[in-house]
Amino acid sequence: MKRSVSTIVLLLLAVAFVASVSVLSRAGNDVLGEVELVGATKVEKTSGVWIDGQYIGYLNELKGSKKLLLLPGDHDISIRQGGYVDFTRRVTLRAGEKQTIEVKMEKDTRVQLPQITAEIKLDVKPDRAAVFVDGVFIGHVAEFNGIGKALLVAPGKRKVKISLPGYQTFETDIELVANQKSMVKTELVKGGPAEGVAPPPE
């Protein structure tokens, strides 16, 4: 009988502990605010996202376990895509609040694609990492690997940087001639700054 009573007491304590953890978890979520970024086309969905000057990831992956939870207060949001004008917004969040922002990227008419190009294919893991060429954000790795996918650049010396929060940044210089095809293959090493990378200068 004593064992039965002890078992019941332990079960009650376990239930109480789980309930308290659940309450604390909900309270933690109530402390933060959420920003949901919505993009209608592939251009928006593959664009890079910076929060307060730090690269976070590309738009379409920032949901579920990667949704944007931010501290209450003012935050500067910048969405970037090669060949498009930066989409910027400043938001003011309150604890427990969710704001939805519809992102619309517009072509940058000042950008002219080179008539003569060289090709860089990327075989990089993780493939959600950001790709920069000569300091300009171009996209994320998954856009430039696989059949029929490649990064087209002007011939000459190009500096390629691949970066992802929580991983060490990879950088390399590539000398390319017209119509040349090149491959960048690497696996990023864990241990970089968790907050990401600062955006390139304007």
126 versus 5: the higher-pLDDT residue is 126
Instruction: Identify whether residues 101 and 123 lie together within a single domain.
Output: no
For residue 149, give its domain range: 118-187
Instruction: Give dist(CA 91, CA 106) in Å, integer.
Output: 21
Tell whether pTM > 0.75. no
Instruction: Count up the domains in the chain and report the number.
Output: 2
Asked if residue 47 belongs to a domain, the reply is yes
Asked if residue 51 belongs to a domain, the reply is yes
Instruction: Give the tokens for residue 186.
Output: 């690497």
pLDDT recorded at residue 169 = 93
Q: Which amino acid is at 106?
A: E
Task: Give the pLDDT confidence of 71-114 residue by residue, as tens digits.
Answer: 999 999 999 998 899 999 999 999 999 999 999 999 998 877 78
pLDDT recorded at residue 104 = 96
Instruction: Identify whether residues 100 and 123 lie together within a single domain.
Output: no
The DSSP annotation for 147-182 comes to TT--EEE-SEEEEEEEE-TTB--EEEEEEE-TT-EE
| CATH number (domain holding residue 44) | 2.60.40.1120
Instruction: Identify whether residues 87 and 154 lie together within a single domain.
Output: no
Task: Give the pLDDT confidence of 8-67 residue by residue, as tens digits.
Answer: 444 444 334 333 333 333 444 578 999 999 999 999 999 999 999 988 889 999 998 889
Give the count of alpha carbons within 13 A of 100, CB side only: 4
